[in-house]
């Protein structure tokens, strides 16, 4: 059974129909990369699928249940979202921030347990911030803050993970570390939907690549089938796709 299933999702923002009927399934143990030009609606799609953004028509099934029938809390126990902007403003510590990922699972007044703290500490280790627990989120660099947001999502221990351009503020080493982490999570059977700007990360790490173009999804039969023609069509600019040694491929926009 698919973890996440979108059926005919349409979203109109202002006078523009951004999503014109999106069908998408995410299976357990699958990393699905979502790509498209700026303004193509990647964030809108993630927000609609997570139930935090607008959705005019269409259904979203989360582990078989209609999103609209689930409480916010229940949704947060099933889907964790890493936002594009962390928006940290108040001087919470890194640990306090990651522990917020445990709030949907804890009772309103129940104290967070040692187990919760362990999960949070492990989540911080996973994003290479194990020693950052006492630092204030307002003192972090953009890349560190983004990894804190990822750790907070991991602490939610959901089966479904959405990441909205999670590596845009990260240097290559930390970006690759995030994808290695996604590989681990995939092995645990989680379903991951990640929007990306860089096609090369998608070619290297994704099980499936879906493109958003003019409000509709375009999906090649497999990432291997992504070619220069398809990329040119999606991004309205010519591309070169090179075969590298070891079976890797790299794509460059032609300048």
Partner 1 sequence: MKPRAGLILSVVVLSLLLAICLLWVISVGEVPIPRGDVLGVISGRIPSSDPRSVIVLSIRLPRALAAAAAGAVLSGSGVIFQGVLLNPLAEPYTLGVATGAALGASLAITLGLPFVSAFAFIGGIGALWLVWILGRGAGETASPTRLILAGVIVGSILGAGITLIKALAGDQVGIIVLWLLGSFSLSSWEHVAWGAASALAILVLGLFWARDLDIMSSGADPRSLGVDDRKTSGFLLLGSSLATAVVVSMSGVIGFVGLVVPHLVRIVSGPAHFRLLPLSILGGALLLLLADTAARSLGELPVGVITALIGGPIFCFLLWRER
CB of 12 to partner 1, least distance (A): 15
CB-side neighbour CA atoms (13 Å) of 214 = 3
CB of 241 to partner 1, least distance (A): 35
What would you report as the CA-atom Rg of the chain, rounded to the nearest whole angstrom?
18
Among 16, 59, 73, 224, binds partner 1 (CB under 8 A): 73
Segment near partner 1 (CB under 8 A); pick from 28-36, 67-75, 170-178, 233-241:
67-75
Residue 211 makes CB contacts below 8 A (sequence gap 6+) with 34, 35, 36, 217, 218, 219, 230, 234
Nearer to partner 1, 74 or 128 (CB): 74
Segment near partner 1 (CB under 8 A); pick from 95-103, 121-129, 181-189, 236-244:
95-103
Contact by Cβ (8 Å): 200, 23:
no
Decide: is 79 part of the binding site for partner 1 (CB under 8 A): yes
Residues 154-173, interacting with partner 1 (CB under 8 A): 156
Decide: is 50 part of the binding site for partner 1 (CB under 8 A): yes
CB of 107 to partner 1, least distance (A): 10
| Closest among 21, 22, 25, 31 to 5, alpha carbons compared | 25
Decide: is 152 part of the binding site for partner 1 (CB under 8 A): yes
Among 28, 51, 58, 220, binds partner 1 (CB under 8 A): 51
Strands 216-218 and 239-243: unpaired
| Closest among 8, 176, 149 to 92, alpha carbons compared | 149
Nearer to partner 1, 9 or 161 (CB): 161
Among 90, 114, 244, 254, binds partner 1 (CB under 8 A): 90
Q: What's the CA angle centered on 100, arms 142 and 54, to 5 degrees?
A: 75
Among 15, 38, 69, 71, binds partner 1 (CB under 8 A): 71
Contact by Cβ (8 Å): 11, 53:
yes
Strands (DSSP E) contained in 16-108 are: 16-26, 30-35, 57-62, 65-66, 79-82
Segment near partner 1 (CB under 8 A); pick from 80-88, 186-194, 212-220, 229-237:
80-88
List C-alpha distances in Å: 210 to 47, 141, 170, 217: 16, 31, 23, 6
CB of 93 to partner 1, least distance (A): 7
**Residues forming the site for partner 1 (CB under 8 A):** 50-52, 71-77, 79-81, 83, 86-93, 96-97, 100-101, 103-104, 106, 108, 137, 149, 152, 156
């Amino acid at each position: 059974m698919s973890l996440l299933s979108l059926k005919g999702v349409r979203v109109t923002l202002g006078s523009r129909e951004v999503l014109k009927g999106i069908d998408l399934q995410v299976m357990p143990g699958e990393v699905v990369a979502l790509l498209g030009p700026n303004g193509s609606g990647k964030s809108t799609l993630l927000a609609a699928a997570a139930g935090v953004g607008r959705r005019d028509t269409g259904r979203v099934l989360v582990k078989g249940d209609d999103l609209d029938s689930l409480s916010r809390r229940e949704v947060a126990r099933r889907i964790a979202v890493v936002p594009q902007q962390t928006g940290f403003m108040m001087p919470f510590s890194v640990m306090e921030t990651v522990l917020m990922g445990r709030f949907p699972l804890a009772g309103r007044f129940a104290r967070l347990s040692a187990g919760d703290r362990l999960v949070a500490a492990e989540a911080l280790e996973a994003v290479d911030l194990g020693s950052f627990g006492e630092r204030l989120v307002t003192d972090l660099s953009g890349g560190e803050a983004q990894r804190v947001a990822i750790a907070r999502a991991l602490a939610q221990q959901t089966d479904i993970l959405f990441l909205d351009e999670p590596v845009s503020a990260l240097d290559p080493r930390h970006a690759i570390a995030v994808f290695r982490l996604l590989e681990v999570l995939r092995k645990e059977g989680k379903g991951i939907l990640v929007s990306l700007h860089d096609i090369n990360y998608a070619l290297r790490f994704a099980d499936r690549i879906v493109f958003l173009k003019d409000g509709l999804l375009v999906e090649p039969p497999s990432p291997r089938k992504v070619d220069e023609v398809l990329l040119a069509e999606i991004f309205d600019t010519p591309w070169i796709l090179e075969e590298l040694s070891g079976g890797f491929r790299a794509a460059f926009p032609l300048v």
